[in-house]
Amino acid sequence: MSRADLVSRLTRRSRSNFYYAFLALPRPRRKALYAVYAFCRTVDDIADLGPEQNVPADALRAQLDEWRREVARCYAGDGAPRHPIAQRLQAAVRAFPIPREALEAIIDGVAMDLDNLAYETAADLYPYCYRVASAVGLAAIEIFGYTDARAREYAVNLGLALQLTNILRDVGADARSGRIYLPRADLRELGVTPDDLRAGRYTPAFVAVMERQAARARDFYARARAAFPRADGRSLVPAEIMGRIYFALLQEIEARRFQVFGERVTVPASRKMAIALRCWLAARLPVGAPAWRVAL
C-alpha cells in the first residue's frame, strides 16, 4: 500500500466528524489535512494501548518520543521521516506553514493521558484540551488558509468547545479506562464519585455535573463565533463544518438528558452531510455570516 493510500484509508475508515469537513477542500489541501489527521489518530491511538493491551507506560512514552523525532525530521532540511504517515506529514508541512509547536503540543497532550491525570478545576482541564484539540485547529487553519489573525483565536476556542463535547460524549468509556476529565471540584460539589462514573450511575447529580460541563462547551462555541473572521469565511468552511457538526452532537447529548452510559451518541450521517452543504452555501452568502447561524 502506498503512503498516500495508507493516510487516505485511515481517514476514510474513521468516518469521523472531521471527514465531512475534508470534503469541502481542494485536493492539495485535502491531502495535507488527511496527513495531519492521520498523524493525530496514530499518536492518539498510542495512549489507548495501555488500557486495551496492557502495554507498559514507559514503552508508550518511548513511542511518543519517536514521534517527536519524526516531527523534527519533518521540519529538518535533510530530514527523512521513517513512518509512512510521517512521510506524508512532511509533504504537508513543506506545502503549508503548519507550526511545529502545534504538532508537538498534540503529542504532549497524548502524553498527559498516559499519566491518567486528575483535573481539579475546569481551568486545570483547559491546557489538556488545548493540546489535543486547539493545537489541531491551529495546524488545520494553516492548511485552510486565512488572512485575519483572529482565525487563530477562533481555532483555539473552537478546539476547546469540540474537546469538551467529546468529554461529555465519552465520559463513561473514559472513566472505565481510568481517565476522568470532569473536574473533580464539580464532582465533589454535586455529589458524584469517580466510581459512579465507572459504574455508569445515571443520577440527578450526574446530570447536574454534565449540565455544568455543557454550559462551558457552549461558552467556547460562543467565543469561537465571536472571533470568526468573516473575511475568511470561504476558506474556513471546513472548520465551520466541524464546529456545526460538533455543536449538533452537543445538542443531541443535551436532548437525551446526558444519557451517555449506553450506546454512543452520534449525529446521523445524513445530518452531517446536510450540515456540510449548508455551511458551504452559507459561506457564499454576501453577508459572510458564520455558517452555524444558518438554520438547519
The full 3-state SS of 199-268, as one line of letters, equals: HCCCCHHHHHHHHHHHHHHHHHHHHHHHHCCHHHCCCCHHHHHHHHHHHHHHHHHHHCCCCCCCCCCCCC
Q: How many residues does the chain have?
A: 296
Question: How far is Cα 281 from Cα 135, in angstroms, rounded to an integer?
Answer: 27
Burial letters 125-164, b for 16+ CB under 10 A, else e = bbebbbbbbbbbbbbbbbbbebeeeebbbbbbbbbbbbbb
Query: Which of the four pLDDT bands, split at 50, 70 and 90, describes residue 296?
Result: very low
116/35: higher pLDDT: 35
Q: Sort residue 252 into left (φ over 0), alpha (ψ -120 to 50) or beta.
A: alpha
Q: What mean pLDDT is predicted for residues 111-133?
A: 94
Q: What mean pLDDT is predicted for residues 218-241?
A: 95
Query: Which of the four pLDDT bands, split at 50, 70 and 90, describes residue 295?
Result: very low
Percentage of the residues of the chain whose pLDDT score is greater than 90: 77
- Lowest model confidence (mean pLDDT) among 62-71, 150-159, 236-245, 281-290: 281-290
4/281: higher pLDDT: 281
Q: What mean pLDDT is predicted for residues 83-92?
A: 96
Residue 38 CA to chain centroid, in angstroms? 12
- Lowest model confidence (mean pLDDT) among 13-17, 52-56, 89-93, 134-138: 13-17
Question: How far is Cα 283 from Cα 290, in angstroms, rounded to an integer?
Answer: 7
Q: What is the pLDDT of residue 17?
A: 67
Q: What is the pLDDT of residues 8-43, one digit of tens each?
A: 444 444 446 677 777 778 899 999 999 999 999 999
What DSSP designation does 32 have?
A: H
What DSSP designation does 133 have?
A: I
Q: What is the pLDDT of residue 115?
A: 86
Kindly report the CATH class assigned to 3-293: mainly alpha
Q: What is the rounded average pLDDT for all residues in the chain?
A: 90
Task: Output the CA torsion sign for 258, 259, 263, 266.
Answer: negative
CA angle (19 as vertex; 76, 245 as ends), nearest 5: 120
Question: How far is Cα 179 from Cα 117, in angstroms, rounded to an integer?
Answer: 7
Q: What mean pLDDT is predicted for residues 204-223?
A: 98
Query: pLDDT at residue 270 above 80?
Result: yes
Query: pLDDT at residue 6 above 50?
Result: no
What DSSP designation does 287 have?
A: T
Q: With CA atoms as reference, report the closest residue to 141 among 237, 221, 230.
A: 237
- Lowest model confidence (mean pLDDT) among 7-21, 128-142, 247-261: 7-21
Q: What mean pLDDT is predicted for residues 97-113?
A: 97
Residue with cell 471540584: 185
